[in-house]
Structures are given as C-alpha cells and as structure tokens.
Structure 1
Amino acid sequence: MSHSTSQPTLTDARLSLEGRVATLTLDRHDVRNALTGTALVDDIVATAEWVNHCDDVSVLVITGEGSAFSAGGNVKDMANRGGDFAGDVAEVAARYRRGIQRIPLALQAVEVPIIAAVNGPAIGAGFDLANMADIRIASKRAKFGETFLNLGIIPGDGGAWFMQRLIGYQRAFELTLSGRVIDADEAKTYGIVLEVTEPEALMARVGELATRMATQPPRATRLTKRLMKMGSRMELKDFLDVCAVFQGMCHNEPEHLDAVNAMLEKMAK
C-alpha cells in the first residue's frame, strides 16, 4: 500500500523532493539560520513528521542557505533576556521543552537516513542539529563549535547526549567544556564529519550519497535505519528478536523478490 502525503507548508525553510531525496534548506540567512527567534523549529519538526508519513521519501538532506549552516541561538535575545530566554526558571524550562527540544525528539524518530550538508558555520545548537543527522558532509567553509559555556549556559537541546555518542566521551567533553571552534578538517579527524569537500562540490557529493541510499529498497531501508537506532539501546538478545521479525517482514515484501531477481539477472550475464 502506497502512502504519500502532501508537503508541509514551511515558514523559514524550503523543502524539495527529487528522486526520493527530500532536501530541507534552512532559509533565514539574515540571522545565520538561528534556531531561536525564527520558525525553524516548527519547520524542522513538520518536515520530520512528513518524512515518516510519506513513502516517496527515502533520504532527508538538511542544509543551510547563505554563509552559515546554523548559528544556533539568537545571542541578542539572550542579552535582552527576551524571546526564548525570558522569564523565570519554570518559564524558560517550559519554552525549551515546547520549543527547541522538539528538534532532537523529532529527528531521532526520523525513519530514513538523514544527511547534514554543512555549508558553513554550525555553532551551538546549529552544531547539535548537524550531530542529530546520521552522516555529516562538510564544506571547507564549515566550522563547528559547542560554544554554550562561552555564554554561561549549557547545551539545552541535547547536544551533550548526541556528541558523546558520535565521537566518544573524552573528545566530546573537551570540545564542550572548552567551547572552542574547530574547522572542517579537524572535525573530520574526530569523526564528526565523514568527508570534507570544496564549497562548490558539497551538494553534488551529498546528492551522490543520498541517491545511492535512495536507490535501495525503500521499506528495508527504513527498517534498517530503525535497527541502527535500536542497536545502541537494546540488549543483544532482544535486539536479535526484533531483527528476526523485521527480516520476516522483508522476506514478504515484493521489493525483496524484485531485488533478488535483479541480482540473479546480473549474475547470469
């Protein structure tokens, strides 16, 4: 049964779908794609939910328009104790839970591969957003910084959870506690990014990776991503039970027989 839904209407981002690859472009370059003080939280969450309900999507690419990937929080609002940062402890906490913290929950639940095409600086919550993807490809113009402590605040969007799982506790600790900003090459040596490209080659390289994944059988692709996410939080025996059931589902999917027959044809040549 095919299930496709119409694209959500976004305010501060653009969404396109081509060849089973959805591309979400953060489009508030006037504020360097800051996640606070814009509608980007709503746009990202709406896109994540749409991807899960649209069978025409096999990969989600996230990138930024303009010079930055995302500058994270709006520092001017912090200075004024305005916008997302106004009020007492309970008010600020509620705003985080109802605001920016919806991004990690939504992206963690996305059933297709997510590739971050990091076109420029990814700072603070922008760095954390990149780390919520499955794969990061960076332009040489990209910079990364877990800069919260420099401003006397903590990573409020889950950054401390994502980064240590990505690169290990010790290096994540050093980057978070120092608040230093690193370039794309250093990020690659730590395993934060998979590859670094020339700026003009970034989207072509990401497109190549995304297209390769998007040509795989779509239902098995989604099940595989779900298993990859489950693997880090389940005991082996329980995990294998889930694998057995997912495999039973795959063996009963028409896409499995199509793929097997295509392989047999290749072997016969």
Structure 2
Amino acid sequence: MSEPFLTVERHGAVALLTMNRPATRNALSGEDCFADFERVFAELDADLSLGAAVLTGAGSAFCSGGNVAEMRDRTGMFAGSAEDIAANYRAGIQRIPRAFQRLRLPIIAAVNGPAIGAGNDLACMCDIRIASEAARFAESFVKVGIVPGDGGCWLLPRVVGFARAAELALTGETIDAAEALRIGLVSRIVPAERLLPESMALAGRIAANPPQVLRWTKQLLQQAREGTLDEALDAAGRLQGLAHHTRDHAEAVAAFFDKRAPVFEGR
C-alpha cells in the first residue's frame, strides 16, 4: 500500500498536513491525492479538539500543480476527448477546491518552495499564506497552453484583486516571495528555517480560541465574499445566537472576570 498523499501530525490543537510526494514536487495527481484531501479534511473538521491546521509540502517544493508528464502522455486526468477531460477534472482535481470550501477549520499555507499553477491555487484555497524566502508563485497555466481548470480564476482575484490576478494569469510569469508579499498574495515572509515554527505558532494562537466559534467565524468570512451585507448580518445574528449558548462562551466570560486563561472544550 502506497504512502498517503497527505500525512497528518497532531501538535496539541493544531494539525500539520504535509503533501508527501517530493519526487513529483507534490504534484496534484491521482485518486489517492484527491481522496486524501476529502478524507483528511472531513476528519479534521469533525474533531473539535482541533482549532487550526497548517499545510506544507515535503521536499523543496510546496506544490508543482498538475503532472506535466501526464499532460504530455495524455494519461490520468488528461486522457480522452475534450468532454472526457472535463469529466475527469470534475471527478479529479476539482474535488480539492470543493473540499477546501467545505472545510470549516482555519488552515494556513506554509509555502516552503515553488507553488506553481494548481499549486499556486492550492495556496489560495487556504485562509492565510506564509512564505519562505525560497517560495515562488506562478499562475502558469497559459505557459503550457491550458486554462486554470481547478478554479484559479475564481480563487486568485479574491486574494489579490482582479487586475493583479489578471496580470499573473495572462502572463503566466513567476514571482518571488517579496513580490507575493507586496501584492498581498502572502501575509508574511520568513527565513526557511523559521517557516514551520512561525506557521505553527500562528496556528497555535488561532487554536487558543473556542474551536466551534473559530469554525463559525470562518464560515462568516467565506460567506461574506459572495453575499450581501443583509445576508451577512442575518448569518452573523444566527451564529451569534448559537455562540452565546455554548459552554465555551460561558467559560470565556468567566475566565475574563476571574483574570485567568480560559479552558475550551468545543462545546
């Protein structure tokens, strides 16, 4: 039995997820890859002892995107007629952004190296992105004569704005970590040896808060990208009513008055 595409390590209330295909620079390919995102995310989301996750890549790359050798050979997702390929994408790589959309647990991308094509989009699927100085980013689909089939044209403008997303997608050019920081693609750059410690520390600060409330807050942030203010206010009121009736809310208020650190249970 082959190793899973995603390995999971628990560090208290934080899960560290590592894409474990360094030989292919963590290319997003194969049923095991797509199924792992769905399975692991569902398991993490259901575990209210977790408050955050960090996603990174094994080896020197974060993620190289699609498997170009399979494109050349017209195998895997790239086999068959135009209609076949569309169906392959729906049954394959497009399961990943849908898994991210369902994930209520906050997740940070620790971008340790190149994030190319679908790898760049994968980073954009995360809620927060921290880059190593070795990170590189490219929405490079045009360079191999294809379009972003994994939802990149929906994801990227929501991170960097339409004009910058258009420049990246239409040129296919690679940018370094400094430029990614300048345009808001990442929120910080750290030395390579500090990437995981800094990412895990941020995840830990997030996970110190009530786990159910974290999930509801992320839900409101996701909904706000698409809905109206009235819809956002309605959803906020509904979830606020639920939050006020959680044990963690009562614990947080009690700890405030007791001048102590709260202990949250996800209830």
Q: TM-score by structure 2 length?
A: 0.94
- Specify the alignment match of 2:40 in structure 1: 47
- Specify the alignment match of 2:6 in structure 1: 13
- Specify the alignment match of 1:159 in structure 2: 152
Match of 2:227 among 219, 222, 234: 234
Q: Does the 8 Å contact 2:51/2:210 carry over to 1?
A: no
Q: Are 1:179 and 2:167 an aligned pair?
A: no
Which ranges of 4 or more aligned residues in structure 1 deviate by more than 6 Å?
none
* Percent identity (aligned): 44
- Specify the alignment match of 1:117 in structure 2: 110
Distance 1:56 1:118 in 2: 25
- Specify the alignment match of 1:75 in structure 2: 68
Q: Which runs of 5+ in 1 are unaligned?
A: 1-8
SS of 2:166's equivalent in the other structure is: helix
> Given residue 129 of structure 1, which amino acid in structure 2 is its aligned partner?
L
Q: How big is each residue's C-alpha offset from its partner over 1:40-88, in whole Å with a ceiling of 9 and x where there is no partner?
A: 2221221111122222221121100000000001111111112221100
SS of 2:189's equivalent in the other structure is: strand
- Specify the alignment match of 1:6 in structure 2: none
> Given residue 183 of structure 1, which amino acid in structure 2 is its aligned partner?
D
> Given residue 82 of structure 1, which amino acid in structure 2 is its aligned partner?
T
- Specify the alignment match of 2:78 in structure 1: 85
Across the aligned residues of Structure 1 and Structure 2, the Cα RMSD in angstroms comes to 1.4
* Shift of residue 236, structure 1, vs aligned partner: 1.4
- Specify the alignment match of 1:215 in structure 2: 208
- Specify the alignment match of 1:169 in structure 2: 162
SS of 1:39's equivalent in the other structure is: helix
Q: TM-score by structure 1 length?
A: 0.93
Q: Which runs of 5+ in 2 are unaligned?
A: 261-267
Aligned length: 259
Distance 1:131 1:234 in 2: 20
Q: Are 1:248 and 2:204 an aligned pair?
A: no
Distance 2:76 2:211 in 1: 41
Distance 2:235 2:31 in 1: 40
* Shift of residue 10, structure 1, vs aligned partner: 6.6
Q: Does the 8 Å contact 2:28/2:67 carry over to 1?
A: yes
Q: How big is each residue's C-alpha offset from its partner over 1:145-176, in whole Å with a ceiling of 9 and x where there is no partner?
A: 01100000000000110000111000000000
